[in-house]
């Protein structure tokens, strides 16, 4: 059975949404729903749709960054390739007016690289969510710059103050690579999910109950009921304040007239430690 990756596409502008649909139609192993929404509108769309059991969200630039901060599933930024930016620069060179490049780091980092290699003298400005976008564009206009190469956010503001723009768009190859990344990432996530489910099932079927705590003493897993888990947790937290848990310890704790043996072992994984408490 083919593994299907369910993708939510939030495009900051309509042309990108249409491109997502066109490129996505070539993949038989994805289910894609796309919407158009920039920044806050895009974030709100993602929050409204996320309950529909999507595996991955794909978006672009500042909208992708904003969505990533507000949802729990992975968000992949539709990349801007060297060819996408170079094509925009070549087009701008056909104009006689001086131009500048304005955008999020996903655009400007590549633009700096291109201009350094080709020895182009172009003013490049990196913005983020806290930037005064309109103020920057006003200052560029006062400096005599009449053309701006930019992303969708800046494009809208530049047109409002009568600056000419070239919208730097993601080409089909860039969008295709984004879908490929989404499929590959989802394959890894599904394997981890399966392993986690098997581990949980094995623990639940094992005769000995256990509790797993993080290095910060956050509860990761418990095979016990809520009341007894809370009692054990508070007891161990109190012990940890007086005894450094840097080696195995055995404690005895009574709950509802039943005496329990709590053995705390330390497990070191990925440069972190976890406390495994067998009951």
Instruction: Give the model confidence (pLDDT) of 88-120 as tens digits.
Output: 999 998 876 689 999 888 889 999 999 999 998
**Could you tell me the pLDDT band of residue 232, with boundaries at 50, 70 and 90?**
very high
The CATH number for 248's domain is 3.30.450.20
Q: Mean pLDDT across the stretch 1-14?
A: 89
**Could you tell me the pLDDT band of residue 49, with boundaries at 50, 70 and 90?**
very high
Domain boundary among 50, 78, 106: 78
Does one domain contain both 66 and 92?
no
- Higher-scoring residue by pLDDT: 238, 3: 238
Task: Please give the mean pLDDT across all residues of the chain.
Answer: 90
Does one domain contain both 101 and 117?
yes
Q: Say which range, 9-18, 25-34, 202-211, 262-271, has the weakest mean pLDDT.
A: 202-211
pTM of the model: 0.69
| Residue 47 belongs to domain spanning | 5-78
The CATH number for 99's domain is 3.40.50.10660
Task: Please check the confidence at residue 6 and state whether its pLDDT lies above 80.
Answer: yes
> Is 242 a domain residue?
yes
Provide the pLDDT for residue 96: 64
> Is 193 a domain residue?
no
Provide the pLDDT for residue 125: 94
Q: Mean pLDDT across the stretch 125-141?
A: 88
Does one domain contain both 88 and 64?
no
Provide the pLDDT for residue 198: 65
> Is 175 a domain residue?
no
Provide the pLDDT for residue 1: 53
How many domains does the chain contain in total? Answer: 3
Does one domain contain both 219 and 246?
yes
Task: Please check the confidence at residue 205 and state whether its pLDDT lies above 80.
Answer: no
DSSP assignment of the chain: -PPPEEEEEEESSHHHHHHHHHHHTT-TTEEEEEEE--THHHHHHHHHHGGGT-SEEEE-HHHHHHHHTT-SS-EEEPP--HHHHHHHHHHHTTSSS-EEEEE-HHHHHHHHHHHHHHT---EEEE--TTS-HHHHHHHHHHTT--EEEE-HHHHHHHHHTT-EEEE----HHHHHHHHHHHHHHHHHHHHHHHHHHHHHHHHHHSSS-EEEE-TT--EEEESS-HHHHHHHHHHHHHHHTTS--SS-EEEEEEETTEEEEEEEEEEEETTEEEEEEE-
Does one domain contain both 40 and 9?
yes
């Amino acid at each position: 059975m083919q593994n299907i990756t369910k993708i939510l596409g939030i495009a900051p502008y309509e042309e990108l949404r249409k491109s997502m649909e066109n490129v996505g139609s070539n993949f038989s192993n994805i289910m894609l729903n796309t919407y158009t929404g920039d920044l806050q509108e895009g974030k709100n769309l993602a929050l409204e749709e996320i309950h529909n059991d999507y595996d991955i969200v794909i978006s672009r630039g500042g909208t992708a960054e904003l969505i990533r901060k507000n949802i729990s599933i992975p968000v992949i930024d539709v990349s801007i390739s060297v060819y996408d930016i170079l094509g925009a620069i070549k087009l701008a060179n056909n104009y006689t007016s001086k131009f500048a490049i304005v955008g999020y780091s996903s655009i400007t980092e590549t633009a700096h690289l291109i201009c350094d290699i080709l020895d182009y003298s172009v003013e490049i400005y990196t913005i983020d969510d806290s930037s005064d976008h309109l103020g920057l564009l006003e200052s560029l206009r006062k400096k005599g710059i009449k053309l701006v190469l930019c992303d969708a956010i800046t494009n809208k503001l530049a047109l409002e103050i009568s600056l000419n723009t070239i919208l730097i768009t993601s080409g089909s190859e860039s969008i295709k690579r984004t879908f490929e990344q989404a499929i590959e990432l989802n394959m890894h996530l599904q394997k981890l999910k399966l392993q986690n489910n098997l581990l949980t099932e094995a623990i639940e079927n094992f005769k000995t109950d256990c509790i797993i705590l993080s290095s910060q003493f956050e509860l990761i897993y418990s095979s016990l009921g809520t009341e007894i888990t809370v009692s054990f947790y508070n007891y161990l937290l109190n012990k940890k304040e007086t005894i450094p848990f840097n080696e195995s310890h055995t404690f005895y704790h009574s709950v509802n007239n039943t005496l329990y043996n709590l053995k705390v072992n330390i497990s070191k994984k990925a440069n972190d430690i976890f406390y495994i408490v067998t009951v």
